[in-house]
Chain A
């Protein structure tokens, strides 16, 4: 009986992520993956029906990993300032320690397969974040805003800092490293801006 071998499945997963980051979704094929992972193409088909099934399955797994990481030590009933701080810390931690997975997710986010991936992801994260924001608005800790405006102010500054960090430089400075100092500085301003 040919059963699942978790070691091989993990190997296939890791190589898929690396290869998609390097070559993009169009340049990715089961044949090349098999070569890179040093397994037979037939082995890959034990775990996945086809290329799309592989991308959607692995994509959903990595998304789940990111989202569950961002919910560490976080509860929706935290004060807005405290909760946002935990979110920033968790997201920054994940992005810094898993740069390849983050690039992989970015590739998928703007692909046609994203809708299919979204359907596989448990709604826990969306529910928690939505409860958190709505409770903060009700408690007058957070100004009422359309979602896109709220998100752009609450999270985009962090992602831009992370981007500078991963490039190791910014438009002005040849060297840039994100530390707690810059993060707390920015977070303070974000909280100030979002206060009613």
Chain B
């Protein structure tokens, strides 16, 4: 039997509804997110109606991430599970 390992098991996934519409929007928040120490990986699903920002982090505190988007003038709201 093959055992499956999930590298993200110990990470927390934070999911946000945003209004990031295009690549230009994503590049505006790129630096801010990459500078956050607790952020391990992130991606934006522009094909989704909620323009979902998905963040894998060492923390479940969304505050710093929200602040990166709000500072650039974007809407950002954490989605609950």
Q: Using a CB–CB distance below 8 Å, which chain A residues touch chain B?
A: 1-4, 29-31, 40-43, 45-46, 49-52
Q: Bound complex: CA of A4 vs CA of B45, how far in Å?
A: 20
Give how many B residues have a beta carbon under 8 Å from the other chain's beta carbons. 18
How long is the Cα–Cα vector from A41 to B49 in the complex, in angstroms?
Answer: 11
Asked if A30 and B45 sit within 8 Å, CB to CB, the answer is yes
Can you report 28 residue pairs joining A to B where beta carbons are below 8 Å apart? A1-B10, A2-B12, A2-B13, A2-B60, A2-B81, A3-B9, A4-B9, A29-B48, A30-B45, A31-B48, A41-B15, A41-B48, A41-B50, A41-B52, A41-B79, A42-B15, A42-B80, A42-B81, A45-B13, A45-B15, A45-B45, A46-B81, A49-B43, A49-B54, A50-B43, A50-B45, A50-B54, A51-B48
Cβ-closest chain A residue relative to B10:
A1
Query: Could you list 14 further interchain pairs (A-B, Cβ under 8 angstroms) beyond the known A29-B48, A46-B15?
Result: A2-B60, A3-B9, A4-B9, A29-B49, A30-B48, A40-B79, A41-B50, A42-B81, A45-B13, A45-B52, A46-B13, A49-B54, A51-B45, A51-B48
Chain A residues closer than 8 Å to B27, beta-carbon distance: none
CB B10 to nearest CB in A, in angstroms, measures 7
Closest to A3 in B: B9
**B63 proximal to A (CB < 8 A):** no
Min C-beta distance of B42 to chain A, whole Å? 10
User: How many angstroms between the C-alpha atoms of A40 and B15 in the bound complex?
Assistant: 11
Contacts of B13 on A, CB cut-off 8 Å?
Answer: 2, 45-46
